[in-house]
Structure 1
């Protein structure tokens, strides 16, 4: 199943993109949601949650932290918006300890198998990596950081369940594709990574699908060249 990501849809057209305008840069990478009544697990609607296992630092280039900028960055590292703009399943919410309480995901992004235009349709059918974005921007902890719930899901025949070890696999895939220099839509990015412990607990307690995680959160700092 995991090997299916090697498929290519290079024969399909690539979508174009215009980035958002600049914003003021924040002064902190992120705030720990646990310190102010938040959680590093989403609310999946069943009393369980998915780990917020990747953070795009608030010290990244400001354009990366905008809605349009985050989508362009996602396209630079092998992901894109959902197939034909259609979302299957309900959104999840997260409380990032910023005073906003539980807020629904900003967007859900899927692996695009080499084509940012329609490649996510293959992910919807065959499975692959995907992530949900949550923004830490409330008045009590306004880092501007993007908290991502990343996972690797099985194909449609398995009802898109998360693959065993799928949270750690999804995180590691995204990080490996993001590191170094990438580009999309005329924008070039340089990404560095740091693994952080102590934000998430290792194990399966409270985790959706009873899947164990290693407790590592990867902090990405993304700089536009």
Structure 2
């Protein structure tokens, strides 16, 4: 992994399941029938390897607000707003069951409007987003399945070690101060173990992961 500062946290302290909205970072999906792997079809899943904390500034956790934040860290909407491929679903243990991704965002190479078209051609980083907002565990946290993928010629398959690599690149871009337009953000990253199992069991394409999930707490600053 990259050399950014991580803080190890106790999973139980962060993820005990409650039935109402509380000021918590997130709830552990696996404690209430959910999974830390989404459903990619074919019997495998992509790891939910980044979580945007429910303790982040509330505007960041909205659809529009998160898009602005994503653009501050190098991602944007898909090329010409066109989505290729079937959506994947996730069960976040919040009572909603398996729900399709809210959105898929791609690396934009510095251009909010057209940069993701380049990612479609040459490959790069991308992620699927799922929101934990059911009545059984309503944290408002955003769970991301992040991965680095090959170019169009290779069918956008995940590169070797693509789940770890994609996560690390996103986190490296996010930590510290970033901005988009007139909005400034400050992001702290924390390393969580015990949510995802290390290895390749159940993981899409049989690509092993190191079992680390990164929790991002994002605050809007003046």
TM-score using structure 2 length: 0.90
Q: Is the 8 A contact 1:26 1:59 kept in 2?
A: no
2:215 equivalent in structure 1: 219
* Residue of structure 2 in register with 1:100 after alignment: 96
Report the number of matched residues: 201
In 2, the alpha carbon distance for the partners of 1:103 and 1:155 equals 28
SS of match in other structure, 1:170: helix
- What does the per-residue CA deviation read over 1:126-150, in whole Å, with 9 as the maximum and x for residues that have no partner? 0000000000000000000000000
Q: Distance in 1 between matches of 2:181 and 2:146?
A: 23
Write out the 4+ residue segments of structure 1 that deviate beyond 2 Å after TM superposition.
none
Q: How large is the Cα RMSD of the aligned pairs?
A: 0.8
Secondary structure of 1:45's partner? Answer: coil
Contact kept in structure 2, 1:26 and 1:144, CA below 8 Å: no
Is 1:127 paired with 2:123?
yes
Q: Which residue of 1 aligns with 2:37?
A: 41
Structure 2 counterpart SS, 1:183: strand
Map 1:48-59 onto structure 2 (within 5 A): 48-59=44-55
Contact 1:26-1:58 within 8 A present in 2 as well? no
Distance 1:173 1:145 in 2: 20
Cα distance in 2, alignment partners of residues 133 and 72 from structure 1: 14
Partner of 1:118: 114
Distance 1:185 1:108 in 2: 21
Residue by residue over 1:57-96, the C-alpha shift from the partner in whole angstroms, topping out at 9 and shown as x without a partner, is 0000000000001111000000000000011100000000
Structure 1 residue 45: Cα displacement: 1.4
Per-residue deviation, 1:106: 0.2
Kept in 2, the 8 Å contact 1:112–1:122? The answer is yes
Rounded Cα–Cα distance in structure 1 between residues aligned with 2:166 and 2:210: 12
2:85 is the alignment partner of 1:80: no
**Residue 185 of structure 1: how far off its partner (Å):** 2.3
